[in-house]
Amino acid sequence: MNSPSLLTPPRPAATKRASNSAVTLISKYFTGSVPATPLQQLADDACPAATRALLQFANDIGYAVGYDREQNGRLVQDIFPVRASETAQVSTSSKVMLGSHTETAFHRHRPRYVVLLCLRGDAAAATTYSDVDDIVELLSPEHLAALQTTDFVTTVDPSFMTKGEPDAEVVVQPLTFTNGAWLLVYDELLMRGTTERARAAIAELHRAVKLATQRVVLSDGDVLVIDNDRAVHGRTPFMPRYDGTDRWLKRALVVRELPHGDVLGRVIQMRL
């Protein structure tokens, strides 16, 4: 395994140790053979060696979990372009910008880490990310104060409603300062303010996230670890070919501790 490489903006103030990084890249973690990229989700694992490698990595930093309403609770999710969702705001889209977001921002049991293993990269498909420490530097004291209230709501991710499940509005507090660190819950497209003050603050948060956005293009075998409390992420558009050579990631969502009462095995149950 190669050593971690820190992904940080160029200014010195943003430099962090790898153990304290919001986003960490490990180059060429997986070197096994990779079959053709699937065209649709399969009942059987198309690359079990990569799944085992990702699960081992995920379980070294916590517990890989699934969600009962997303990809049938799979602990390792395959992400590749699907024709039916080309322009949707879901991970299997391709031809649209995937908006910056906290993974499962609406959920009471959000993952602490999003771990992406790239099996087959695409030079046009950059993963975007913004570090909360860089974001808050761009916000005024007034907007920082407003964003530390519960005058905001977000809705359920579209990937949790693929079988016609109902949507819901969930109250959230975008920014929290605890134990000397900023934490962020954010969804560019699904979150809104419920008061005039909150709407002004979230408009500034949108602006700050965009200004703080960095990009990384994953290559074959790379692992990217995103601290879901401290960074938001998205993806740039790319053009799928549907010929077995498209971008293909495996994703594990990792919690530090398994929740009590809302989990069956490693699958977290929907409780709003």
**For 222-249, how does the pLDDT look when each residue is reduced to its tens digit (9 = 90+)?**
999 999 999 999 999 999 999 999 999 9
pLDDT at 264 over 80: yes
Starting from the edge strand earliest in sequence, which strands make up the sheet with 127-131, in order?
Answer: 98-101, 231-235, 127-131, 214-216
Q: Is residue 85 part of a domain?
A: yes
Averaged pLDDT for residues 33-62: 94
Q: Is residue 10 part of a domain?
A: no
* Average pLDDT of the residues of the chain: 91
Q: Report how far residue 219's alpha carbon sits from residue 252's, in angstroms, rounded to the nearest whole number.
A: 18
Name the 3-class secondary structure at 200: helix
Q: For residue 217, give its domain range.
A: 19-268
Q: Is residue 80 part of a domain?
A: yes
The CATH number of the domain where 68 resides is what? 3.60.130.10
Q: Is residue 9 part of a domain?
A: no
Closest CA to 139 of 165, 175, 113: 175
Write out the H or E segment, with its range, that includes residue 59.
helix 48-61
**For 92-130, how does the pLDDT look when each residue is reduced to its tens digit (9 = 90+)?**
999 999 999 999 999 999 999 999 999 999 999 999 999
Residue in this structure with the two tokens 């059987």, named with its chain if needed = 44
Q: How sure is the predictor about 270, in pLDDT bands with cuts at 50, 70 and 90?
A: confident
Most confident of 4-8, 13-17, 70-74: 70-74
pLDDT at 12 over 60: no
Q: Is residue 4 part of a domain?
A: no
Q: How many domains does the chain have?
A: 1
Angle (CA) 63-111-20 rounded to 5° is 85
Q: Is residue 13 part of a domain?
A: no
The answer, as to whether pTM is greater than 0.85, is yes
